[in-house]
Amino acid sequence: MFPSFEGKRVPDVTFRIRENNEWKSVTTADLFAGKTVVVFSLPGAFTPTCSSTHLPRYNELAPAFKANGVDAILCVSVNDTFVMNEWAKDQEASNITLVPDGNGEFTEGVGLLVDKADLGFGKRSWRYSMLVRDGVIEKQFIEPQKPGDPFEVSDADTMLAYINPSARKPDQVAIFTREGCSFCAKAKALLTELGYDYAEIPLPHSTRSRIVGAVTGQQTVPQIFVNGEYIGGAEQLEQWARQRKAA
C-alpha cells in the first residue's frame, strides 16, 4: 500500500512553467500558503481517462468546490510545461490550474511516483486526489494498487462529497439547435437568464431530423435536456421554468 501523508505538509518544490513565452518559477508556497486547495494527479496529459473524465469533471464541479470554501483546484502530472499548456488549451479547463511536475519531485514527495516503464512512460504519478489546507494535507484519496490504471476514488464527486456531502452540483444542461433558428435563440436566452451553463449541440440540416427523432421522437429544434430529464422544445422549457420558479 502507498503511505498516507495525511497530516503532513506538502513537499517544498519549485515548478518551472512557461507563461507568455517566458520561464517562471512557482513554489508550493505560492500555490498552497493560506489557501484551501484540492489537488488531483494522474498518469499523464492527453491520456484517455485523464482527458475524458478525471480533469473535465473537476473543471465542471469547480463552482461547487468554490461555493464550499475551496480556493483553487490543481491538476498535477509528471509532464513538462509545454505539454501541460497544450493540454489545458485542448481541454478548455479554465477552472483548473495545471501544474507540470516535470521532474516528479512533488509526486515523489507525497510517495506516489511509480514506474510505468512497461508502457514507455518512465516515472509517472499514481492517480490520487487530496485536500490541502494552508499547505497541510488533510485528506487523500489514493487509487487502489491494481494492475492498469484504476479510477475509483480520486474523482471530483468523491472529493466534493468529502468536503460537503450536501453540496449542490451544477445542473447538466444540453440543447440541440440549428443555425438561424429563432426558437433556439429564445431557448438559449432563457437558459442564460436562469443561470445555466448549457452545452449547445448544433446540428446540420442533412442529419438534424434523424438525430432529433432518434433521441427525442420529435422532428424540430430546440430540444432541451436537464440532468438527464428530457424537457422538450422552447415552449416546454418556458413551462418547466415557470414550474421551477413556483416550486
Same domain flag for 100 and 32: yes
Name the more confident of 195 and 153.
153
In angstroms, the CA 151 to CA 141 distance is 11
56 shares its domain with 20: yes
| pLDDT tens by residue, 4-44 | 999 999 999 999 999 999 999 999 999 999 999 999 999 99
9 assigned to some structural domain = no
pLDDT tens digits, 205-220? 899 999 999 999 999 9
Amino acid at 171: D
Task: Give yes or no: residues 68 and 189 share one domain.
Answer: no
Do 176 and 212 form a contact (C-beta atoms < 8 A)? Answer: yes
Q: Among the three residues 116, 131, 163, which one is the final residue of a domain in this structure?
A: 163
- Find the mean pLDDT for residues 223-227: 96
- 182 plus 158 within the same structural domain: no
Q: Which three cell numbers stand for residue 221?
A: 429544434
Same domain, 120 and 70: yes
150 and 80 housed in the same domain: yes
CATH assignment at residue 34: 3.40.30.10
CB burial string 194-219: b at 16+ within 10 A, e below: bebebeebebeeeebeeebeeebeee
Q: Catalytic positions, please? A: 50
pLDDT of residue 77: 97
Same-domain pairing of 138 and 20: yes
User: How many folded domains does the chain comprise?
Assistant: 2
64: pLDDT strictly greater than 80: yes
Question: Could you tell me the pLDDT band of residue 148, with boundaries at 50, 70 and 90?
Answer: confident
Instruction: Please report, rounded to a whole number, the percentage of residues in the chain having pLDDT higher than 90.
Output: 90
CA 60/CA 90 separation, integer angstroms? 15
Q: How confident is the model at residue 117 (pLDDT cuts 50, 70, 90)?
A: confident
Q: Which of 103, 131, 163 is the last residue of a domain?
A: 163
Domain that holds residue 129: 14-163
